[in-house]
Amino acid sequence: MIAFYLVYCSIVLLSFVTSIWVFKFNPGLRAFPWLLGLTLAVEITAGMLGYRYVVNPYWLYHFFLPLSSLFLAYFFYHILTGVTTRRTVMVVTGVYVLISLSMTFFFYKLTDFPGLPLNLLGFLLISVSLYALLTLEPIYNISIYAHPVAWICLGFIVFYTGTFFLNGVYNYLVATGSGSRQLIHSVINNGLNCFMYLCIVAGLVASHRLKKFYATEN
Amino acid sequence: MQLASEEVIITLVAGTVLLLFLVAVVVAAAARYQHRKRIHLMDLERAKHETLREILKARLEAQDETLDHVGRELHDNIGQMLSSAKMLVAVVQRTVPAPNETLDVIEETLARAIADLRALSKSLNREWLQKFSLIENLTAEANRVNATNSLTMTLNHADEIDLPAEHQLVLFRIVQESFQNALKHAEPTRIDIDVRQQDGMLEVQIKDDGKGFDTSDLSTQGVGMLNIKNRSQLLGGRAQWTSFATGTSVVIQIPTQQ
């Protein structure tokens, strides 16, 4: 399991480094160095606490989720067009942050995993990513496979859908007393995480490849 | 245990449905993107053509302005100088007791030069040309050229031309440019202009019996030919050259329904 964790952290590190040097065709991508840097810091800290010091690291995620939602909102605000849509993103994000923090302080203990806020964030991200995919504006003559936003949204959709599905399967594994439930959960969860961050890397690289169009424009 | 099994079945069914839904959405998103990309490219192409058309129109308008200016200068300056010279010759003829026959020749030459200059000036003046149809302007131009006795110009035309007045003026400029080209490069003795209208297309053919040129050699295609092509394109038509050692023919085809 540590091996999966290390592979996962390496991919997050790769995505963080990529996010710093790539050309950002849209101002929304400026959120990713901050988001991925925060993710890396949280995951390394959680890993150290969990594996090395055997301390419950879940309290980190209670604050990570609302913070990351702000960066994601910044991204989608710049990606999506339309005053109403952008306003909706801002309002929903604000409401989510309030709900998440309220649950942290009034519903959960800091040692509990914030399952509901995570699922709620997942639901919101799937919705906004689907909307972004369906309203994707063409950039010059590039295909959808070269569109940065397509890759990033695909990553979010696959990860959070998979997470919903995985949580359901996990309950079965717990009920059957499956000894390998932790391993299965870890493999699938880390696999989905890796897929999402690789999609983000693909999206960032695709953004960098658009530099030639914007260079000639300037 | 049964509850757990039921939960698994529900989870599996829900997961499969969700997965199929997501696959359908991703495919729909890709199809929708392709469609938008096609429309975007068409819009870009249209905008590019429109910009090129506007640039071309501006350039041709500038050329027309220059021709107008030259026509006015010819009439106002040189025309006036020739008229003054003719008047002075008439004064000399009246005052001198035995005027020389040379003075008569001078007076006749000056009168012809003034008439030719007026005709040329009118052929360059947009406001004047707009008062007449394409056929009337071509007839006047043919008469002007024939009056110089340097070559013979004939005009065969259809009875009616279904083209807006503005387009008839542009077409006249094209024909004017064509035979000016012929006069400059081909050294013809005869130029025939044929105007026909059929099946929604107006066809003007300008044929000369000059020395011809190599139509495939791009270096022979000067500003005149470029202007003819550009003006034809502005009217939604085209110009085509055929040339042999015995002469050149340029055919301009313009759609009458714009």
Average pLDDT over chain A reads 88
> Which of the 8 DSSP states describes residue A28?
G
The angle subtended at Cα A93 by Cα A91 and Cα A99, nearest 5°, is: 105
Interface-testing mutation among B1, B6, B8, B17, with chain A (most A C-beta atoms within 10 A): B8
Statement: residue A218 has pLDDT above 50: no
Closest CA relative to residue B183, chosen from B113, B120, B100: B120
Distance, in Å, from the CA atom of B119 to the CA atom of B99, rounded to the nearest integer, reads 30
Q: Is the Cβ of B41 closer than 8 Å to some Cβ of chain A?
A: yes
**Residue A152 contacts by C-beta under 8 Å, 6 or more apart in sequence?**
A75, A129, A199, A200, A203
Measure the CA–CA gap between A132 and A64, rounded to whole angstroms. 24
Give me A66's structure tokens: 């609302």
Cβ atoms of residues A97 and A71 within 8 Å:
no
Indicate whether B164 pLDDT > 50.
yes
| Residue-wise pLDDT tens digits, B118-158 | 888 888 888 888 888 888 889 988 888 888 788 899 999 87
Average pLDDT over residues B51-67: 85
Q: Is A127 on the interface with B (CB under 8 A)?
A: no
What pLDDT shows up at residue B246?
86
- Burial of A81 (C-beta count, 10 Å sphere; 0-12/13-18/19+): exposed
Q: How far apart are CA A52 and CA B237, in angstroms?
A: 80
The whole-number average pLDDT for the span B65-73 is 87
Residue length of chain A: 218
Q: How far is C-alpha A195 from the chain's CA centre?
A: 11
Q: What mean pLDDT comes out for the span A1-21?
A: 89
Question: Does residue A177 carry a pLDDT above 80?
Answer: no
Give the whole-angstrom CA distance, residue A34 versus residue A68. Answer: 9
Residue A2 has pLDDT above 80, yes or no: no
Question: Top-level CATH class of B133-258?
Answer: alpha beta
- Which chain B residues touch A154 with a CB distance below 8 Å? 26
Structure confidence at residue A4 (pLDDT): 80
CB-based contact, A169 to chain B, within 8 Å? yes
The confidence band for A34, taking pLDDT boundaries of 50, 70 and 90, is very high
Full-model pTM: 0.67
pLDDT at residue number A96: 96
Is A20 near chain B, with CB under 8 Å?
A: no
Residues of B in contact with A137 (CB under 8 A): 36, 40
Domains of chain A are 2-136+143-213 (1.20.1070)
% residues pLDDT > 70 (chain B)? 95
| Higher per-residue pLDDT: B43 or A180 | B43
Average pLDDT over residues B76-88: 90
Asked if pLDDT for residue A217 goes beyond 60, the answer is no
In terms of DSSP bridges, do strands B247-255 and B201-208 run parallel, antiparallel, or are they unpaired? antiparallel
Binary contact (B1, A165; C-beta < 8 A): no
For the cut 80, the answer to whether the pLDDT of residue A144 exceeds it is: yes
Reported as a pLDDT band with limits 50, 70 and 90, residue A94 is: very high
ipTM: 0.76
Residue B76's pLDDT is what?
Answer: 86
Whether the per-residue pLDDT at B24 is higher than 70: the answer is yes
Of A133, A141, A168, the CB nearest to B11: A168
Res. A214: pLDDT tops 90: no
The answer to whether A177 faces chain B, any CB pair under 8 Å, is no
The length of chain B, given as a count of residues: 258
pLDDT at A156 over 50: yes
A39: distance to nearest CA of chain B, Å? Answer: 26
- A138 or A181, which is more confident? A138
Q: What per-residue confidence (pLDDT) applies to A186?
A: 75
> How many CB atoms neighbour CB A118 within 10 A?
18
Give the residue, A47 or A181, on which the prediction is more confident: A47
Cα–Cα distance between A103 and A110 in angstroms, integer? Answer: 10
Residues of A in contact with B42 (CB under 8 A): none
What number is the average pLDDT over the span A73-96?
Answer: 95
Task: Answer yes or no: is pLDDT of A166 > 80.
Answer: no
Q: What is the mean pLDDT of residues B79-87?
A: 90
* Distance (Å, whole) CA B117 – CA B136: 19
More confident residue, A100 or B100: A100
Does position B62 have pLDDT exceeding 50, yes or no? yes
* Residue B249 CA: distances (Å) to CA of A44, B115, B158, B183, B196: 82, 30, 19, 13, 15
Q: Is the pLDDT of residue A147 over 90?
A: yes
Whether residue A176 and residue B4 make contact (CB cut-off 8 A), yes or no, is: yes
Cβ-defined contact of A169 to B41 (cutoff 8 Å): no
pLDDT score of A21 more than 50: yes
Question: Given this model, what pLDDT does residue A31 score?
Answer: 95
d(CA A196, CA B67): 68
Which element (helix H / strand E) includes B63?
Answer: helix B2-73
pLDDT 10s digits, A108-127: 888 888 888 988 999 999 99
Say yes or no for a CB contact (<8 Å) between A168 and B3.
Answer: no
| Per-residue pLDDT tens digits for B166-184 | 888 889 988 988 888 888 8
* Partner-chain contact A161 B18, CB within 8 Å: yes
Residue A29 has pLDDT above 70, yes or no: yes
Query: For residue B153, what are the CA distances in angstroms to A46, A94, B239?
Result: 95, 83, 20
What is the average pLDDT score of chain B? 85
